[in-house]
Structure 1
Amino acid sequence: MLSPEIWNFKAPDSLVKVEKGNIVNNNCFNTIQKLHHNHLVSVVLPDTLRVPQNICETLKNDCEYYKISNVGLDELVNINFINAFVRKGIFISLSINERIDCDDCMCITPNGFLLLSLTKETYESLGLEGTPSHYYNTKQRYVVSINLLSNHFKPGKKNYDRTKDRLLTLKKMTLLINWEPPHLDICPSSVAKYFDDLKFDVQVCLPDFQMRTNYTIKVPNFTMDNIHEFVEWLGMFSLESDLGGGGESYLSTYETPQPYQEYGQVKFLQWRGFFSSQQINKLLEVLISHLKDEEKPWISLYVQGFSDVVVGWDLQEHHYYTNGDNGYVIVLNSEDYMVYQHMCSKKSYK
């Protein structure tokens, strides 16, 4: 027998936002720009015999990122580093192997903010100004925001010197970094060489790419009226769940939403890595071009952020206390697009 407390335990709250528009306006790019640190990307192509090579390679070519071990955060406010990489091109970074609900975490956003999510003990010993976490009423976590691109943030200024000195007291972290140079003639590996010259352990990481083909699949028609059922089907298909609806148990039976079409081949593409919003933009542009070249009923793009990252959408605080959702689905056809945006609950915890 289940205890009453477990039986009545509510599912984590989530926020869902649906946006619809005309593909000519390309407003869906605005959503992409708001999620800075992206980990998993998948594409579903119905009624497709062959996937164009440029789609497969968009998030493979020149999408290397780097893992740097045992980095003191004071290195990230070094003025030479800021001028060479944060001010030029697109730089993002985040800590790994740290848990957003109980450890100290950091990230750097494309607009040049170094953000720290700290435990109460770390924050009180750090001595830099921050704000209590929105999600913990007991003030067990704090967020510190440092604008690396501020005109006043430079050596010789009191705020800069104090910040650099206090960051020296924090423990070293393992970071992922991704840098897109401002010009094509500059090698993206320059940022890796910078840290290598400082004698850090630098590892190059390549995105993992997988592709599969499913045969004789019932695919629901994409309309703006059945978007929740359509997104549910995309999730079932992506996870290779049973879509046949022929199970013996009622609880395990799933039926494809109607109306639907049956296609001989449906392609599923998936990348795992560390992607900037600009790299996701490039993939979306390729998918839109593919729609114009070949008649397809629709194409879907799913993007998922990291669980343990300081911010999710824009500069809004992220958390993983219950669900940690920060992802979106974009579905395109020849005329319209739909963005299905999944966000963390704004509920705070006692």
Structure 2
Amino acid sequence: MLQNVEKCSRHLLVCEKSNFSHSKSRHRKHVETHHYNYQVSILIPECRALSSAIAAVSRTLGDYYLVKQLPLHEMLEPEFINKFVRKGKLILSVDKDTYEELGLEGQPSKYSHKTTVRYNVTVDLGDATFVPGEKRYNRVMWALKEKKPLTFDFLMTWHPTGGEDATLASYFMKYQCKVYQPTVSTRMLNDTDCPVLLSNELKGKLNESCSAQEFLDWLGAVFNNIDCNNQADSFLSTYCCPWPSTVLQKACLCTISGFIIPEGINLLLDQLRLYFEEPKLAQWITMTVHGFADSPVSWGESEHGYHKGGENLYNFVLFSNQDYWLHMAVGTHSGCPP
């Protein structure tokens, strides 16, 4: 047998419960600080079609852009900052060689272990002193234009606040810039075993309801179209729906893929909260948001270890009484969820 088999990767999962009407509910803060999202999945039990209101929001989440071979320093030009950024930070996660060639101040990655192999460089674009002529600005631009020019393919999106006459496509006309829109797909589920949930029992209740963690495991199986009625001797999978369970005669799974910003996700969340204003057979619905695996951060500026694993996601379970559960998960080499 191998003597040095690598241990299983560490994963972090945080679960909390609250009510949307509670004055100290943090649901908006969690959404707003998870910036880089590529997929949203909505599961609605006892439903055969997405409601017109939810479908309308899913179709208006905004364009995103792929800009090919863009020099990084272009994003530090005053015109770009004034039109599209105003307040924000540029965060670079670079290897040791690139860091030393740049010559910019940074911090070692928290996950370098004994030998530092990666560094994080943060540039505050909204700082009043980060303007042409100031020492910090000149130093950063010199590093990125002359000392170590960096060029990447960028995936971008932008949320206009009103009154702007510019677009990312028009600004980057001299580069290869392609516009995309999020794609929406739906899948119908029939006769699906489903865990029983009680909104006030996050940890589950013996013989009455399942825990938040058991539900998230089941949800992952549903999203990946895994059969939850497996036998103990199954070659492929022995996973079964947690007990106690019930059967969903029908359910609608909607998946939205693209570059989806927090403002759009909050619109979806608000619309889902209205779902129970009219009587429904369903007692809950879910919305799962997946972050990009290669993002340098997860929530806020928390370092994300995209070079090993890359998982970062959150999931809302919305109950008919406006209670909610929130799961937040990251993989190996990532900061704890807030």
Shared topology, TM-score over 0.5?
Answer: yes
Deviation digits for residues 137-159 of structure 1 (CA, Å, limit 9, x no counterpart) = 31211111000000111112111
Aligned to 1:113: 89
Cα distance in 1 between the residues matched to 2:84 and 2:300 = 21
Aligned to 2:167: 190
Gaps (5+ residues) in structure 1?
A: 88-110
Check if 1:179 corresponds to 2:158: yes
Q: Give the aligned CA root-mean-square deviation in angstroms.
A: 2.0
- Spell out the pairing of 1:34-183 with structure 2 (5 A cutoff): 34-87=33-86, 111-137=87-113, 138-168=115-145, 169-183=148-162
Aligned to 2:208: none
Deviation digits for residues 97-132 of structure 1 (CA, Å, limit 9, x no counterpart) = xxxxxxxxxxxxxx5000111111111111111111
Counterparts in 2 of 1:156 and 1:311: CA distance versus 1, 3 Å: same
Cα distance in 1 between the residues matched to 2:188 and 2:30 = 29
Cα distance in 2 between the residues matched to 1:54 and 1:125 = 52
Residue 150 of structure 1 aligns with an amino acid whose one-letter code is D
Say whether the 8 Å CA contact 2:302–2:334 is kept in structure 1: no
Gaps (5+ residues) in structure 2?
A: 205-210
SS in 1 for 2:75: helix
Residue 21 of structure 2 aligns with an amino acid whose one-letter code is V
Check if 1:22 corresponds to 2:48: no
Aligned to 1:280: 265
Cα distance in 2 between the residues matched to 1:62 and 1:263 = 30
Cα distance in 1 between the residues matched to 2:120 and 2:231 = 50
- Spell out the pairing of 1:243-322 with structure 2 (5 A cutoff): 243-246=228-231, 248-249=233-234, 252-295=237-280, 296-322=282-308
Cα deviation, residue 251, structure 1 = 6.6
Cα distance in 1 between the residues matched to 2:14 and 2:21 = 21
Cα deviation, residue 331, structure 1 = 0.4
Q: 2:221 aligned to 236, 239, 244, which one?
A: 236
SS in 2 for 1:340: strand
Cα distance in 1 between the residues matched to 2:54 and 2:220 = 21
Cα distance in 2 between the residues matched to 1:80 and 1:321 = 33
Residue 58 of structure 2 aligns with an amino acid whose one-letter code is L
Say whether the 8 Å CA contact 2:66–2:155 is kept in structure 1: yes
Cα deviation, residue 258, structure 1 = 2.4
Which has the larger displacement, 302-311 or 54-63? 54-63
Give % identity.
31
Residue 91 of structure 2 aligns with an amino acid whose one-letter code is L
Aligned to 1:91: none
Aligned to 1:202: 177
Cα distance in 2 between the residues matched to 1:347 and 1:148 = 24
Cα deviation, residue 346, structure 1 = 5.0
Aligned to 1:213: 188
Cα distance in 1 between the residues matched to 2:326 and 2:154 = 31
Size of the alignment, in residue pairs? Answer: 318
Cα deviation, residue 209, structure 1 = 1.6
Say whether the 8 Å CA contact 1:74–1:167 is kept in structure 2: yes
SS in 2 for 1:58: helix
Say whether the 8 Å CA contact 1:74–1:165 is kept in structure 2: no
Residue 78 of structure 1 aligns with an amino acid whose one-letter code is E
Cα distance in 2 between the residues matched to 1:186 and 1:347 = 36
Cα deviation, residue 321, structure 1 = 3.8
Aligned to 2:207: none
Cα deviation, residue 50, structure 1 = 2.5
Aligned to 1:338: 325
Deviation digits for residues 58-109 of structure 1 (CA, Å, limit 9, x no counterpart) = 233242100001111111110011111102xxxxxxxxxxxxxxxxxxxxxx
Cα distance in 1 between the residues matched to 2:103 and 2:59 = 42
Cα distance in 2 between the residues matched to 1:125 and 1:248 = 56
Cα deviation, residue 246, structure 1 = 4.7
Cα distance in 2 between the residues matched to 1:153 and 1:339 = 38
Cα distance in 1 between the residues matched to 2:61 and 2:30 = 23
Residue 315 of structure 2 aligns with an amino acid whose one-letter code is V
Deviation digits for residues 162-183 of structure 1 (CA, Å, limit 9, x no counterpart) = 2112111322100011111111
Cα distance in 2 between the residues matched to 1:4 and 1:220 = 40
Cα deviation, residue 301, structure 1 = 0.8
Residue 338 of structure 1 aligns with an amino acid whose one-letter code is W
Cα deviation, residue 31, structure 1 = 1.5
Cα distance in 2 between the residues matched to 1:315 and 1:202 = 27
Cα deviation, residue 250, structure 1 = 7.1
